[in-house]
Chains A and B, each alone.
Chain A
Amino acid sequence: MSRTFRIAGGLAVLLTLLAAPLALGNYGYYILAIVMVYAMVALSLNILVGMGGQISIGHAGFWALGAYASALSVVKLGFPFLGGVLAGGIVAALFGALVALPALRVQGHYLAIATLGFALFVQQILFEWEWLTGGRQGLFVPRPSLFGVQLDSDLGYYYLLLAIFLLLGWIAGNFARSHTGRSLAALRMSSIAAESCGIARPKHIIIAFVISAFFTGVSGALYGHLLGHLSTETFSLALSLSFLTMAVIGGLHSRAGALLGGAYLALAPEVLREFKDAQMVIYGVILILCVQFLPGGLISLVDVVRRAAPWRSHGPS
């Protein structure tokens, strides 16, 4: 993709995101905030699955860990808001390192099952430890105050989330261009070749899981403060599957794809409201169609359009 196109595209997206609330009403602010939260998770899966070639159907586990670690540190330990969010990310990241260990030994469906087990285990613990998570009532999480400014409004919170998403996106981009990130991609393309080039597989896989878990943990923390309330049922297998679905559908290899994925997961329940029961069925169908016809996700349609464009110049892009 040519540089000018990327910059122009990036600016367009940024402007859209900044201006979006103007076009939408109050309820729209909340949806936009949710889009940001989900987009962060999609970003984390871009790193783990898109770059690293790993699989996870247990990311709800990291999301839960981030959400509860942050909420509890703010509510019970008096952490400041950003400190809590950071704590959420770090707790999730630590477990990410743990979950990486099976990934060092096995791939594919074995790894998927291991991640599933992790998520179910987390959910089970949260369910059993009612003293920690509030049991049937759940846990109430206050809206944050940042540098003395109380962020009660969804609109203000959205802009904060946008800023954090852009920060995470910037970090993800740096990672993709860095030697470590490219070594990770090399391991995905051919781990035998990568290792013969001196690239250490264990180190890179662990890093991928840790960064991915950190991003998801941060997202979970922010989600808790957005929603104001946490209940253990939220962090189910269906959620992990939805996360993977949205990341694939949006596009595993692009940050704009992560945004699209987040938008998809935030908006689909609204759009499919009449088909409430069939929602997950439709997600499954879309997922399979995507994997068959658009493995690069919806964002890859942009490339299709670009290539067909009549104004395309010849020469290397």
Chain B
Amino acid sequence: MALLEVANISLSFSGLRALADVSFDVGEGEIVGLIGPNGAGKSTLLNCVSRLYRPQIGHIRFNGASLLERKTHEIAAMGIRRSFQNLELFREASVRENVTLGLVYRHKSALWNELLNLPAARVARRGAEDEADHILDTCGLGDVADVTVSELSYGQQKSVELARALAGNPKLLLLDEPAAGMNPEESRRVGETVRRLRDHDGITVLLIEHDMRVVMTVCDRVVVLDHGEKIGEGTPAEVRRAPAVIKAYLGDEAGHA
């Protein structure tokens, strides 16, 4: 049984078909890339997995459990975390607070304890603080921990969003264009980070990417979407040669990939 099973997903927005019968699996420990021309439905699919959208048809299973019955905020507890194409950071807050918010859901104490600042609440807060410190260190954000995220560079902001996702100790990480807006050196480092997350921490990754260098070097397998349909699947090398894929990216006058 694969870690993530996407089966026959179809989704329409008021008559506009965004996804049509998309199916694929992501095995535990795999890094799977989701590629395709703009508007192919990649983000839409990711949004279905992270439960921001509800497909009209199909199933999504994580560790055998159906995801579509879950509410958006429930999938974090199941072990699924994500980053966003256009960054959804808590802009007014510090780096530390962003990361901490990524894990507070696991450090609960009763509302009474919190309102009266009783020991149980203080213990929970300290637990969260310690964990957040650890994540900040691991992700190299210790120096900027107390800076407001809106003041950081784009690359740093992306790191914060990743750190926040990792704060949840996820089993599955959904990354929406992690290398977007980066120069080749930065993209390479993103690729290395993703690899390390899988090799060291055993995190399964499903990522959307346009940067073909990253896809080719990092992904074990690639799924190709175009106009909401799956038009190819396989290793990066296989997919890159597939005629349907070349056609989708370059149009009928295909030639060199």
List the A side residues contacting B116 at CB < 8 Å: 171, 174
Quick one: CB contact mask for B98-127 with A, threshold 8 Å, 1 for yes? Answer: 001111111111010011110001001100
- The answer on a CB contact under 8 Å between A174 and B114 is yes
Q: With an 8 A cutoff between CB atoms, is A183 at the interface?
A: yes
Smallest CB–CB gap between A207 and chain B, Å? 7
Q: Number of residues in A with C-beta < 8 Å to the partner? A: 27
Contact between chains at B105 and A198 (CB < 8 Å): yes
Q: Provide the A245-263 mask, 1 if CB < 8 A to any CB of B, else 0.
A: 0000000000000000000
Nearest-CB residue, chain A, relative to B92: A189
Chain B hits for A211, CB < 8 A? 115
- Which A residues touch B108, using CB under 8 A? 179
By a CB distance below 8 angstroms, the chain B residues around A174 are 114-117, 121
Given known A171-B115, A178-B114, A197-B168, contact A183–B91 (CB-CB < 8 A): no
Asked whether, in the complex, the Cβ of A181 is within 8 Å of the Cβ of B114, the reply is yes
User: Of residues B72, B91, B92, which shows the largest number of chain A Cβ atoms within 10 Å of its Cβ?
Assistant: B72
Q: Given A193-B89, A198-B73, A316-B146, are A178 and B105 neighbors across the interface (CB < 8 Å)? A: no
Which B residues between 192 and 220 are near A, CB-CB below 8 angstroms?
A: none
Interface of A, secondary structure class, is helix
Interface centre among A174, A183, A195, A201 (most CB of B within 10 A): A195
For residue B221, CB closer than 8 A to chain A, the reply is no
- Whether the pair B84, A193 counts as a contact (CB closer than 8 A) is yes
User: Could you say which residues of chain B place their CB within 8 Å of the CB of A180?
Assistant: 111, 114
B50 touches A178 (CB 8 A): no
Q: Which of B72, B97, B102, B121 contacts A178 (CB 8 A)?
A: B121
Closest Cβ–Cβ distance, residue A223 to chain B (whole Å): 23
The yes or no answer to A32 lying at the interface (CB within 8 A) is no
Counting CB contacts under 8 A, is A146 at the interface? no
Query: With a CB–CB cut-off of 8 A, which chain B residues contact A183?
Result: 101, 104-105
In the bound assembly, the distance between CA atoms of A170 and B45 in angstroms comes to: 46
Instruction: Give the nearest-CB partner of A172 in chain B.
Output: B115
- Report yes or no: B97 in contact with A179, Cβ–Cβ below 8 A: no
Whose C-beta in chain B lies nearest to the C-beta of A196? B82
Residues of A that sit less than 8 Å from B by CB: 171, 174-175, 177-183, 185-186, 189-190, 192-201, 207, 211, 316
* Contacts beyond the supplied A175-B114, A186-B90, A196-B84: 17 A-B pairs with Cβ under 8 Å: A174-B114, A174-B115, A174-B117, A178-B115, A178-B121, A179-B114, A179-B125, A181-B114, A185-B93, A189-B92, A189-B93, A190-B91, A192-B88, A193-B84, A197-B105, A197-B168, A198-B74
| A-B contact list, 24 entries, CB within 8 Å | A171-B116, A174-B115, A175-B114, A178-B115, A178-B117, A179-B107, A179-B128, A180-B111, A182-B104, A183-B104, A185-B93, A190-B88, A192-B84, A193-B84, A194-B90, A194-B101, A195-B73, A197-B81, A197-B168, A198-B76, A200-B73, A200-B105, A207-B111, A211-B115
